[in-house]
Amino acid sequence: MLRSRPVACRRQTVLGLLLGAVAGGAASAAALVGREARAGAVRQPLLISYNDDYAPYSFVDPQLHPQRVQGILPDLLQALLKDLDSVQLEALGLPWRRAQAMVKLGQADGLCTFASDERRQYALFNELPLVELRPHLFFSARHPQRAQLERLRSREDLKAFHLVDQKGNQWAEQVLADFPHVEWTMGHDAVFRMVLAARGDVHVSLSPLVTQWRLKKLAIQAQVMSIPAPYLAANVPFHLGLRQDFPDARQILAHLDRRLAQAGSAALIESIVRPYHSATSS
The predicted-structure confidence for 134-187, as pLDDT tens digits, reads as follows: 999 999 999 999 999 999 999 999 999 999 998 888 899 999 999 999 999 988
Whole-angstrom distance, CA of residue 247 vs CA of residue 122: 14
Question: In CATH, which of 3.40.50.10580, 3.40.50.740, 3.40.640.10, 3.40.190.10 is domain 44-132+235-279?
Answer: 3.40.190.10
Half-sphere exposure of 273 (CA within 13 A, CB side): 14
Whole-angstrom distance, CA of residue 179 vs CA of residue 168: 17
Whether residue 175 contacts residue 120, with contact meaning beta carbons closer than 8 Å, is answered with no
Evaluate whether 44-132+235-279 and 135-228 have a shared fold.
yes
The predicted-structure confidence for 52-102, as pLDDT tens digits, reads as follows: 999 999 999 988 888 899 999 999 999 999 999 899 999 999 999 999 999
DSSP class per residue in 183-252: EEESSHHHHHHHHHTTS-SBEEES-HHHHHHHHHHHT-GGGEEEEE-TTT-S-EEEEEEEETTSTTHHHH
Mean pLDDT, residues 21-27 taken together: 42
Q: What are phi and psi of 250, to 5 degrees?
A: -65, -40
Domain positions in the chain are: 44-132+235-279, 135-228
Fold of 135-228: D-Maltodextrin-Binding Protein; domain 2 (3.40.190)
CB atoms within 10 A of CB 127: 13
**E strand spans, the chain:** 31-32, 44-51, 53-54, 58-61, 65-70, 87-94, 110-113, 123-125, 131-133, 136-140, 163-166, 182-185, 203-205, 224-228, 236-243
pTM of the model: 0.81
